[in-house]
Amino acid sequence: MRPPVKRLEIVKKLKREILAGAYANRNRLPVEPELAAMLGITRKTLRGALDILEKEGLLERIPGKGTFLPHRSGGDVGNVFLLLPCSDYFLKSDFETRSILRDILSGCLQEACLRKAHVITLPLTTTNRIEDFDETILERLPDGSRIIFYSNWYAPIFPLFLRKRFRIAHIHHLNYRNSILKPAVDQWICCKADFAGGIGKALEHLARRGCSRIALATSFLDNEFNPVKSVYLRALENLPGAHPPLLCDIGGVNEPPMTFVERLRNFQSETGFDALLFGIHDSPVLNFAQSLNSNFGLSEKTSLVTLFPYDFNNKYTPGIPSMKFDYLSIGVFAVQSLFQDHYTPQEIVFSPILDDPAERRYAYHGG
């Protein structure tokens, strides 16, 4: 006799989720009352579906202990999806973002390889515009799929993430404290890059060099999620002596390269800053026969530190110090957290180093 249609629907759904690795955490399914409630069915219907899956060799039911996936000698098998805004994101995004995502992907692949799992990069649009997102891309994924993403470009579809009960590892450096997104973010594992600690280290470094007018220049200074401005202001207050706040939003997004140079030059003329902590969102066209200060139209006496290790930091002598996070290790941790026995929402804070090429060279030569 053919099983009821509802039972067959549940069999197909559970089979998709099992094969996608949704229950690969210690190879165990939720207990029957919980799983039945999650699926919106009776325990009788669920047990009938589990009977079929057990006969097909996809489950092992141990009385008094629970329902398990059969042991695989090759290790834990499953998929991890790394979301991307668009298919050519590694080619067209700014240097900072594509470098971070490259390192995150490398870390994910490294850890997934050890687990004999798979990392699938999943572009959500062809235009890099969230309004062009096709929901069916994520709707086709099994509920409970493992998802990793960077930044909050995906904020408009957070409700879909929650509805699909995805296991999320959200990598970011953002401030969600007073945001309407916080209730969603609090349900996930968040790997947060500690900009507060990084900017504090950068300002202390510049203060030790005798700088007393330390400016901050980057994009999106007044964005509600960008912590850089508030962190800079707090860190200034912790420095000994008087340090006036000097802030400049230099833009650079969707603008011709080097547009920010005139803004920086004018800002220094107006404020007389003697040190600059900065981040840029375009690809600068530099003349390496000249100093970086000269390329940016700044006084040669101005001390510089970047918010990110750009490719030009090591091309000057002396090199330009930068804040540096180990995003490869963060990618490794993100995959580990999604394969843990019990998915526990939490925020893990990752500290940066202040990478000074001059100090590295000094140590290398035996100083």
pLDDT, tens digit (0-9, with 9 covering 90-100), for 259-268: 999 999 999 9
120 and 81 Cβ atoms separated by less than 8 Å: yes
Please indicate, yes or no, whether residues 169 and 93 belong to a single structural domain of this protein. Answer: yes
What three-state secondary structure class fits 267? helix
- For 264, phi then psi, to 5°, come to -65, -45
Residue 365 is assigned to a structural domain of this protein: no
Please indicate, yes or no, whether residues 288 and 139 belong to a single structural domain of this protein. Answer: no
Residue 363 is assigned to a structural domain of this protein: no
| CATH code of the domain containing 22 | 1.10.10.10
**Per-residue pLDDT, 24:** 59
Residue 74 is assigned to a structural domain of this protein: no
Distances (CA, A) of 26 to 29, 141, 193, 254, 340: 9, 21, 29, 46, 8
Token duo for residue 230: 């508030």
Residue 292 is assigned to a structural domain of this protein: yes
**Per-residue pLDDT, 72:** 47
- d(C-alpha 168, C-alpha 308), whole Å: 25
Average pLDDT over residues 231-248: 93
Q: How much is the mean pLDDT over the chain?
A: 88
- Looking at per-residue pLDDT, the higher value among 80 and 318 belongs to 80
- d(C-alpha 114, C-alpha 271), whole Å: 53
- For 320, phi then psi, to 5°, come to -95, 120
**Per-residue pLDDT, 25:** 52
Residue 73 is assigned to a structural domain of this protein: no
Q: E strands of the chain, at which residues?
A: 60-62, 66-68, 79-86, 118-125, 146-150, 167-172, 189-193, 214-218, 246-249, 275-278, 303-306, 322-324, 346-350, 353-355
191 and 174 Cβ atoms separated by less than 8 Å: no
Please indicate, yes or no, whether residues 179 and 199 belong to a single structural domain of this protein. Answer: no
Total of domains in the chain = 3
Give the pLDDT confidence of 274-294 residue by residue, as tens digits.
Answer: 999 999 987 789 999 999 999
Residue 269 is assigned to a structural domain of this protein: yes
Residue 51 is assigned to a structural domain of this protein: yes
* pLDDT beyond 50 at 112: yes
Please indicate, yes or no, whether residues 188 and 223 belong to a single structural domain of this protein. Answer: no
Please indicate, yes or no, whether residues 56 and 112 belong to a single structural domain of this protein. Answer: no
Please indicate, yes or no, whether residues 202 and 347 belong to a single structural domain of this protein. Answer: no
Please indicate, yes or no, whether residues 223 and 320 belong to a single structural domain of this protein. Answer: yes
Average pLDDT over residues 172-185: 94
DSSP label at residue 148: E
Rounded to the nearest angstrom, the gap between the alpha carbon of residue 42 and the centroid of all alpha carbons in its chain is 39
The pLDDT > 90 percentage for the chain reads: 63
| CATH code of the domain containing 98 | 3.40.50.2300
**Per-residue pLDDT, 91:** 86
**Per-residue pLDDT, 288:** 93
Neighbours of 96 (CB within 10 A): 16
Please indicate, yes or no, whether residues 256 and 234 belong to a single structural domain of this protein. Answer: yes
Counting DSSP H helices and E strands in the chain, the numbers are: 14, 14
Considering 68, 98, 123, which residue would you say is the last residue of a domain? Answer: 68
155 and 181 Cβ atoms separated by less than 8 Å: yes
Neighbours of 286 (CB within 10 A): 18
**Per-residue pLDDT, 362:** 40
Give 14's contacts (C-beta < 8 A, 6+ positions apart). Answer: 49, 50, 53
Q: What is the pTM of this model?
A: 0.78
Please indicate, yes or no, whether residues 99 and 190 belong to a single structural domain of this protein. Answer: yes
Please indicate, yes or no, whether residues 85 and 185 belong to a single structural domain of this protein. Answer: yes
Token duo for residue 334: 């993100």
Distances (CA, A) of 156 to 127, 128, 246: 16, 13, 33
**Per-residue pLDDT, 71:** 52
* pLDDT beyond 90 at 66: no
Q: Is the peptide bond before 318 cis (omega within 30 degrees of 0)?
A: yes
- Which residue, chain included where needed, has tokens 């939720």? 30
Domain carrying residue 26: 5-68
Please indicate, yes or no, whether residues 269 and 320 belong to a single structural domain of this protein. Answer: yes
**Per-residue pLDDT, 167:** 94
**Per-residue pLDDT, 367:** 36
Give the pLDDT confidence of 324-366 residue by residue, as tens digits.
Answer: 999 999 999 999 999 887 889 999 999 999 998 877 544 333 3
* pLDDT beyond 90 at 295: yes
Please indicate, yes or no, whether residues 156 and 256 belong to a single structural domain of this protein. Answer: no
- For the chain, the residue count is 367
pLDDT band of 73, cuts 50, 70, 90: very low
Q: E strands of 2-78, at which residues?
A: 60-62, 66-68
Residue 49 is assigned to a structural domain of this protein: yes
Give the pLDDT confidence of 121-143 residue by residue, as tens digits.
Answer: 999 999 999 999 989 999 989 88
pLDDT band of 116, cuts 50, 70, 90: confident
Average pLDDT over residues 211-231: 94
Give the pLDDT confidence of 198-215 residue by residue, as tens digits.
Answer: 999 999 999 999 999 999
Distances (CA, A) of 94 to 32, 168, 217, 264, 316: 48, 25, 17, 20, 21
